[in-house]
Structure 1
Amino acid sequence: METLANLESFVRSAECGSFSAAARRLGLTPAAISRNVAQLEANLGVRLFQRSTRRLTLTEAGERFLGNVGGGLESIQAAIADLTSSAGAPAGVLRLSAAPAFGRDFLLPLMPGFLARYPAVTPEWHFDNRQVELIADGFDAAIGGGIELSPGVVARELAPAHLVLVAAPGYLVGRPVPKRPEQLAEFDQLAMRSTQSGKVRSWMLQGPKGERMPLEQRPRMLVNDPQALCSSALLGLGVALLAVPDVLEHLESGALVRLLPDWHVDAGPISLYFASQKLLPAKTRAFVDHLVEHAREQQWPRRFDARGRGLI
């Protein structure tokens, strides 16, 4: 009879495509994962993976074996997770991913209450503007937008991800207030170059009566970080398109002014990503419930919505 550790090492390695990624997910060393898989192969008398220095691929026998054992392993883990979450208190390291600005301004403030409520949980925050692969990168949960829903991952919407056009009041002195998106060509435009593609992303503005118009950008200056883009706008260097959470504080204080208040970009939802609910350990379930409750109490859906709400 094969051990659960050997089977889990095999299944996670197949899902992640490498022993290293599987090790991060399971909290083991790559050597331990490799050893478990090698033991499984020796016991079965077949090679399950083709190994190279660059990638790990399943053999034909490996694919067939994964199809036969994958569902059974998930069922066993679901039973263990259900028992643990019911009988045990949330505990352990909780690996979380979020964008730096959103994490600092809206997620870290949750931590005093969360840690007081769950003292045995150790949150490990990773703040990065890139989109993570939740399972392959070994995260328990991630907060952001546009993360691919790979098998075993679910998303829970927290608020809309709307972007608005902003500028510093000093920059607007002596300049006419734009009434239409095409008039933005008369202003210095600040833009962000994607760190992943190296391109300046094109955006579609949505108007008050269902109008849609591409945002024509001829950047006066480019950066590769949303906080740098916000800082550039605060310095009076021009007009920037930024997510509502990144500029909400500055709009409320008057440090930035919203342009074209009837227009915005809809970038989809801000979501909380985590593994299938049936497999959630107690620590992850505790965080999911805590964050969803906080978002509701702080009225994130209303505060982050740029449509017809008089956002300054």
Structure 2
Amino acid sequence: MESLANLESFVRSAELGGFSAAARRLGLTPAAVSRNVAALEANLKLRLFHRSTRSLTLTEAGERFLISMRDHLEGLQGAIAEISNEHAEPGGVLKVSLPPGLGTGYILPMLPDFMKRYPQVQPEWMFENRQVDLIGEGYDAAIGGGFELASGVMARPLAPAHLVAVASPAYMQGRVPPVDPAGLAGLDGIVMKSINTGRIPLRQMRNAAGEEQPVDLTPRIVVNDPAAMRGAALLGLGVTLLSKPDALAYLDSGELIRLVPSWYVDIGPISIYYANRTLLPLKTRVFVDFVVEAFQRQRLAERFAGSIG
């Protein structure tokens, strides 16, 4: 009977394209993963991988074995995880990637209740404006928007991701508020250049009636961070497009005002991302459920909707 460790090392190495990536996913060393795969090949009397200094590719026999093995392995691991989790206490390091604004403003305040409920879990939270490689970098979960769903990654929507046009009362003093998105072009724009493309994204605004208009802010200030856009708007330097979560506290306090309030930009949902549900550790499962419940209890989906002026 082949060991589960050998089989899992083979499947993850094949899926991730290397022993090092598989090792990060499994919490092993690359040498240990390599030994497990070599032992599997010896037991099967088959070469499963073509190895070189730069690449690891499946042989024809390896491809057939992967197709036959993948679903059975996940089913076996799921059965083991389910029976093990029945009486287990969630524990261990919980590595999560979060965008700084949403993370510190809304997710971090959930942490005291989460730690009180699950004291054996040790949060390791990274606040960063980037899309992480959830599996390759060893994250248990990530929260954000616009992630490309890689193989083995699932997404659970939490709230809409809507951008709204805002400016400070001081900036708008003496200016006529625009009546539609086209009117925003006559104001000083605070815009963000994409880290990935080096370009300023083109945005399309819509309203509750389903009408759409392009929004063409005239760039007066260019930054690469949402917090900097908000800071410049608070200083009275112009108008900008902020996500509703980033703007909400300042709209409530009156430090910012919303322009063309019936219009918003829809950039897709805010979601929580995690590895395939069958292989989900208990610490990750309870975290996902906790965040989903907190969003529902606090009505964050409604509060983050730019369609609600």
Amino acid at match of 1:218: T
- 1:122-174 Cα offsets, whole Å, 9 max, x none, are 12112221112322332221111122223332221111111101111111122
1:34-53 aligned within 5 A: 34-53=34-53
User: What's the counterpart of residue 169 of structure 1?
Assistant: 169
User: What's the counterpart of residue 188 of structure 1?
Assistant: 188
User: What's the counterpart of residue 232 of structure 2?
Assistant: 232
Q: Following the alignment from structure 2 to structure 1, what is the Cα–Cα distance between the partners of residues 51 and 129?
A: 32
Q: Following the alignment from structure 1 to structure 2, what is the Cα–Cα distance between the partners of residues 185 and 51?
A: 57
1:1-312 aligned within 5 A: 1-307=1-307, 309-310=308-309
Quick check: 1:164–1:241 contact (8 Å CA) kept in 2? yes
Say if 1:239 and 1:86 are closer, same or farther in 2 by CA, change over 3 A: same
Quick check: 2:188–2:217 contact (8 Å CA) kept in 1? no
- 1:252-288 Cα offsets, whole Å, 9 max, x none, are 1111111110100111111112233333221111111
Q: Following the alignment from structure 1 to structure 2, what is the Cα–Cα distance between the partners of residues 219 and 50?
A: 52
Q: Following the alignment from structure 2 to structure 1, what is the Cα–Cα distance between the partners of residues 45 and 199?
A: 49
Q: Following the alignment from structure 1 to structure 2, what is the Cα–Cα distance between the partners of residues 237 and 257?
A: 14
Q: Following the alignment from structure 1 to structure 2, what is the Cα–Cα distance between the partners of residues 287 and 268?
A: 22
Amino acid at match of 1:268: G
Amino acid at match of 1:261: P
3-state secondary structure, aligned to 2:263: coil
Identify the range of structure 1 (209-218 vs 68-77) with the bigger mean alpha-carbon deviation: 209-218
Q: Following the alignment from structure 1 to structure 2, what is the Cα–Cα distance between the partners of residues 53 and 103?
A: 40
Amino acid at match of 2:182: E
Amino acid at match of 2:269: P
3-state secondary structure, aligned to 1:9: helix
Identify the range of structure 1 (56-65 vs 297-306) with the bigger mean alpha-carbon deviation: 56-65
Say if 1:222 and 1:56 are closer, same or farther in 2 by CA, change over 3 A: farther
Task: State the identity %.
Answer: 57
Say if 1:54 and 1:144 are closer, same or farther in 2 by CA, change over 3 A: farther
In the alignment of these two chains, the number of paired residues is 309
Deviation at 1:54, TM superposition (A): 4.3
Identify the range of structure 1 (201-210 vs 163-172) with the bigger mean alpha-carbon deviation: 201-210
Quick check: 1:133–1:147 contact (8 Å CA) kept in 2? no
Q: Following the alignment from structure 2 to structure 1, what is the Cα–Cα distance between the partners of residues 279 and 56?
A: 25
Q: Which runs of 5+ in 1 are unaligned?
A: none
Q: Following the alignment from structure 1 to structure 2, what is the Cα–Cα distance between the partners of residues 305 and 254?
A: 18
CA RMSD of aligned residues (A): 1.7
- 1:53-85 Cα offsets, whole Å, 9 max, x none, are 544332322211111111111011001110122
Quick check: 2:155–2:273 contact (8 Å CA) kept in 1? yes
Quick check: 2:94–2:284 contact (8 Å CA) kept in 1? yes
Q: Following the alignment from structure 1 to structure 2, what is the Cα–Cα distance between the partners of residues 237 and 244?
A: 19
Q: Following the alignment from structure 1 to structure 2, what is the Cα–Cα distance between the partners of residues 49 and 113?
A: 47
- 1:78-111 Cα offsets, whole Å, 9 max, x none, are 0111012212111111121111111111111111
3-state secondary structure, aligned to 2:22: helix
Scaled by the length of structure 2, what TM-score is found? 0.94
Q: Following the alignment from structure 1 to structure 2, what is the Cα–Cα distance between the partners of residues 196 and 46?
A: 43
Q: Following the alignment from structure 1 to structure 2, what is the Cα–Cα distance between the partners of residues 139 and 273?
A: 10
Q: Which runs of 5+ in 2 are unaligned?
A: none
Quick check: 2:181–2:260 contact (8 Å CA) kept in 1? yes
3-state secondary structure, aligned to 1:270: strand
